[in-house]
Structure 1
Amino acid sequence: MATASLAAQAQSSVTLYGLIDIAPAMVSRTNTADDRQFRLNSDTGSSSRFGVRGTEDLGGGLAAFFNLESPLDAKNGSVAGGAASGACNVAAACASATTPAFWRRNAYVGLRGGFGEVTFGRNYTAAVIKQAATVSATPSGINTGMATNLAAQGISNDFWNSNQIRYDSPKFGPIDFSAHVALGEGVTGRNVGGNVGYNDGPLAISLSYQRDENLAGDAVKWMILSGSYNFGSFKVHVAFDDVNNDERVVGFRDSKFWTVGASFKATPLLTVAAQYWNLKDSASSNSSKQVVLNADYLLSRRTALFAMLGHVNNKDIAVLPLWNSGVTVANDKVYGLAAGVRHSF
């Protein structure tokens, strides 16, 4: 009877969801030759993915939930991609920990209640994902701009971490915070990080910090401070970051960037944006610069047309002109143009 009563009280739901971002594109040169390349580019603005998530109401304000999420390359149907985790990546001889993983985007379970929520498993790190809304001005997604610059610094290793315990607080007025620890278990790099956010009306501020340690005990530390202000149809974004890699952890670059960008809602359906990035290599003091222009037009709640132009003037650090364009050329100017469709389900 007790078991039947508990089953009757529990309310559960499971949802299949996803997103596809794909666009015909052109880049001004390849990695090996000064020749234009025409391609079908995936993930230009947002990362294509599919997943399943569910929740169960346990009563008394407590709920259990889970998320399994896989990457998707819509142009060829593959799900390949290493499950990088902090200072452990393929280049750092952690290939056994970063081989392609089907659920490499998310694979966790958690509990949610008045205390906030806690998750166990592979998950977004609090330090990166909490920055997306304040760092990036582009409405089509964070990939070209935010992700291209973070990848050049090595912080792309920290979008997700394996073996992770993460806590997200409830709101305390305009303030909330998150913290996570990734347990290396002698297989992947260990790390700890977190974020504090302030969101009050039009003003939002976000501060993140993370410390990654590789299998040899060498550490890299990085921070991001960002903010945005919404004037209504016009929104401004500014951000600064600093990667301290004095111990020369493979996969990270001792560097810092600053960025400023803005978006303008021209109509209820059309948003245009521009953002400038300045990424400085600490060893050489040279700066790689990127300009991103973006237009996003909503056809419906789930479908949009977008155009993205990325131009890089690279020095020692090679920044991609468009995310996933395959063109990483240091000490050269490269641009990429894409126009495509983003559909969520």
Structure 2
Amino acid sequence: MTSIHPRTRIAVFIGLLLGILGMTAHAQSSVTLYGILDTGLLYTSRTLDPVTGQNAGHQFSFISGGFGPSLFGLRGTEDLGGGVQAIFALESGIDMANGGFNDSNGNLFGRQAWVGVAGGFGTVKAGLQYSPFALSIIGTDPRNTSSFGSGVPLYIGNVFVTGVFNPNAISYTSPTIAGFQGSALFALGGTPGNFQAGRQYSASLDYHAGPFAVSAAMYSGNAGGTATTTPIPSTVEFSGRTIGASYQAGDLTVKVNYVNYKVAGSFDNRVYGAGASYFVTPATNVNAGVWYTSDGNDTSNHSLMAAAGLTYNLSKATLLYGQVGFVNNHGKMDTGLSLHGALFGVQGSTVGADVGIRHTF
């Protein structure tokens, strides 16, 4: 019998899956294929040598996801009656440079893979999903979670994708009541005989009142568990706390947030961020933000990062972007400017920039 290469099997599986779901979407109008394609060019004046820990010189490189993640996904709903729906999502990160996996935990559907129900009682999901802690940070990030010069390289540089892509998870999100909405998640480690290995839990509370919004959240997770088999670390043992707020006045949005990453047996980073975004025209946006990070265990370890960006929408689906940034590291701090190509930085000052194109479908 002729053997089939595993990658060929995956390709055949995806083709069959998309074909079947495409027919389902046509018949029921309940399944949607969506995606984001983002490519860019990155420059940094200094680059970390992972072997020596020293400056390897400047770089100029092609990157996937210069502004945000490249991905594709499937989401769907089914009306169960009585105002209740069955819902699901499957989402995969894409490396636009080589067609591989990226911006995920390294698996095929390593960003989201969950099924649930939603109604007047709220929403319940089961499977791989975002934690309330990560969603709170996303909602209050001063530069709207750009992959360059924002809270994103700070988050991933601290704990990789732990708390972002949570496996074995069950979550509940309440309906909004008097402006308040709560969410909680519990993830099982999956190791027989060791309930604590890989166990994760998170909760958040959001409040919205007209143009003003505030969000607070916590996270606690243990090392180990079955998630340790994912290609990208997703069970770094740490506890996290965050609180942030945003205010929108016409075309101007201002955001501030605070995030604490306390990693077991290591650093206790406190990150303070603030920034603003302004639509000069309906198609043109300018934004800027600044982040100060200090290690609570040793305040000689600290960094300052600042970044600004400009986006221009060629259409509703396609935009061009350009971003510039600066970071200064002291002590053992290794803050980097970009999630891709410059996740960790060197001591002293580094400047960088990226330009690219982003298309959504």
Q: Shorter-normalised TM-score: what interval?
A: 0.7 to 0.9
Equivalent residues in 2 for 1:114-133, closer than 5 Å: 114-133=120-139
Report the Cα distance in structure 2 between the residues aligned to 1:219 and 1:41, rounded to whole angstroms. 29
Range with bigger deviation, 21-30 or 59-68: 21-30
Report how far residue 334 of structure 1 moved: 1.6
Report the Cα distance in structure 2 between the residues aligned to 1:191 and 1:223, rounded to whole angstroms. 14
From 307, 310, 318, the equivalent of 1:292 is 307
From 316, 339, 346, the equivalent of 1:301 is 316
Range with bigger deviation, 302-311 or 328-337: 328-337
Report the Cα distance in structure 2 between the residues aligned to 1:184 and 1:113, rounded to whole angstroms. 28
Structure 1 contact 290–312 (Cα < 8 Å) conserved: yes
Q: Name the SS of the counterpart of 1:158 in structure 2.
A: coil
Structure 2 contact 271–292 (Cα < 8 Å) conserved: yes
Letter of the 1:184 partner, please give it.
Answer: G
- Could you tell me which residue of structure 2 aligns to residue 25 of structure 1? 42
From 234, 245, 250, the equivalent of 1:227 is 245
Range with bigger deviation, 208-217 or 328-337: 208-217
Cα separation, partners in 2 of 1:79 and 1:279, compared to 1, 3 Å: same
CA RMSD between the two structures: 2.3
Report the Cα distance in structure 1 between the residues aligned to 2:86 and 2:236, rounded to whole angstroms. 37
- Could you tell me which residue of structure 2 aligns to residue 87 of structure 1? none
Structure 1 contact 278–288 (Cα < 8 Å) conserved: yes
Kindly indicate whether residue 167 of structure 2 is the aligned counterpart of residue 185 of structure 1.
no
Letter of the 2:352 partner, please give it.
Answer: G
Letter of the 1:63 partner, please give it.
Answer: Q
Letter of the 1:226 partner, please give it.
Answer: G
Report the Cα distance in structure 2 between the residues aligned to 1:21 and 1:69, rounded to whole angstroms. 16
Structure 1 contact 309–322 (Cα < 8 Å) conserved: no
- Could you tell me which residue of structure 2 aligns to residue 197 of structure 1? 206
Range with bigger deviation, 170-179 or 24-33: 24-33
From 59, 64, 69, the equivalent of 2:91 is 69
- Could you tell me which residue of structure 1 aligns to residue 355 of structure 2? 339
- Could you tell me which residue of structure 2 aligns to residue 91 of structure 1? none
- Could you tell me which residue of structure 2 aligns to residue 157 of structure 1? 162
**TM-score, normalising length: structure 2:** 0.82
**TM-score, normalising length: structure 1:** 0.85
Letter of the 2:123 partner, please give it.
Answer: E
Report the Cα distance in structure 2 between the residues aligned to 1:174 and 1:142, rounded to whole angstroms. 30
Kindly indicate whether residue 71 of structure 2 is the aligned counterpart of residue 49 of structure 1.
yes
- Could you tell me which residue of structure 1 aligns to residue 7 of structure 2? none
Cα separation, partners in 2 of 1:17 and 1:234, compared to 1, 3 Å: same
Letter of the 2:149 partner, please give it.
Answer: T
Cα separation, partners in 2 of 1:166 and 1:149, compared to 1, 3 Å: same
| Structure 1 outlier segments of 4+, above 6 Å | none
- Could you tell me which residue of structure 2 aligns to residue 13 of structure 1? 30
Report how far residue 133 of structure 1 moved: 2.4
- Could you tell me which residue of structure 1 aligns to residue 12 of structure 2? none
Q: Name the SS of the counterpart of 1:127 in structure 2.
A: helix
Cα separation, partners in 2 of 1:159 and 1:253, compared to 1, 3 Å: farther
Equivalent residues in 2 for 1:73-92, closer than 5 Å: 73-79=95-101, 83=105
Letter of the 1:167 partner, please give it.
Answer: Y
Structure 2 contact 92–104 (Cα < 8 Å) conserved: no
- Could you tell me which residue of structure 1 aligns to residue 13 of structure 2? none
Report the Cα distance in structure 1 between the residues aligned to 2:339 and 2:57, rounded to whole angstroms. 19
Query: Percent identity of the aligned residues?
Result: 31
